[in-house]
Amino acid sequence: MRAKRRGQDSVIADLRQEGALKALFPRVRGNALDAVFLNTSGGLTGGDRMVIAAEAEAGAHIVLSSQAAERGYRAQPGEVAQVDVTLRAGAGARIDWIPQETILFDHAALSRRLSVHLVGDGSALIVEPLVLGRQAMGETVRAVLFRDQWRVWRDGALVFADAISLAGDATALMARQATGQGARAMATVLLAGPAAAERYGRLRLDGLSGASLIADDLLLVRLLANDGFDLRHQMLGVITALADVPIPRVWRL
């Protein structure tokens, strides 16, 4: 999908959708274009592929979220679900990628790739929360394959790269002192744009979570929590501090 600036508002310039992935457009609450993605298949398993591409043209603002938590289900041996997201923001534009949690079940296999391309003073807020099973249901993730790769370019130059890999017993991996110290849920948040340094001072983090101002225009936040409920409470505060518009209604507890 692509959005453009019309007066003070951001509106749809182009939209294409197919397969199980659909886009919904709630009633606008401000000048940004709100888009909510829905995976009508109900989740991801080995062999599935989901591709999302969104562009905010010069001066436009897109806020993208998901209608519900994504689910990574048990995959057959050797099969890995693929998710590719490409975001572009032109000069003076902003794009917010704020999907709800991805829940990984035992024996899930998921590989994600996120590419962000910024022009001039274009900005992006990226939020990716991850939950290892549903603790309230007594679920334990003993075998999983999860890869998450982020790349951010500004005017063609690579300014940020990050990768997370979980392979094997995720519960044991997250129990280690140097990884999660027993956390069952985590999130990575990145604000790339001129407001990063100023928004850094607004953050209030809990427990093992932390933030790093990598550059004046690049702020990274890592969140850790005991479960998805605690993680969401942390994220609501972080998103409120970093966003320019109200949190999408689908995020409200």
Rounded to an integer, the average pLDDT of 30-59 is 93
Confidence of residue 136 (pLDDT cuts 50, 70, 90): low
pLDDT at residue 190, rounded to an integer = 98
| Token code pair at residue 74 | 């048990």
SS3 category, 241: helix
pLDDT at residue 169, rounded to an integer = 87
Which residues sit opposite 224 in a β-bridge?
A: 186
Rounded to an integer, the average pLDDT of 182-203 is 94
CA dist., res. 103 & res. 137, Å (int):
13
Pair 232, 160: CB distance under 8 Å? no
pLDDT at residue 137, rounded to an integer = 61
Q: Is the pLDDT of residue 193 over 80?
A: yes
Rounded to an integer, the average pLDDT of 3-28 is 91
Rounded to the nearest integer, the mean pLDDT of the chain is 92
Q: Quote the Cα angle for 101-15-246, to 5°.
A: 45
pLDDT at residue 28, rounded to an integer = 67
User: CA 82: distance to chain centroid?
Assistant: 15
* Residue 65 belongs to domain spanning: 2-251
SS3 category, 162: strand
Which residues sit opposite 54 in a β-bridge?
A: 87
Q: Is the sign of the CA dihedral 8, 219, 157, 162 positive or negative? A: negative
Burial class (CB in 10 A: 0-12, 13-18, 19+), 123: buried
Q: Is the pLDDT of residue 206 over 90?
A: no
Q: Give the total number of structural domains in the chain.
A: 1
Q: Is the pLDDT of residue 71 over 80?
A: yes
Q: Is the pLDDT of residue 172 over 90?
A: no
Confidence of residue 148 (pLDDT cuts 50, 70, 90): very high
Q: Quote the Cα angle for 224-208-222, to 5°.
A: 50
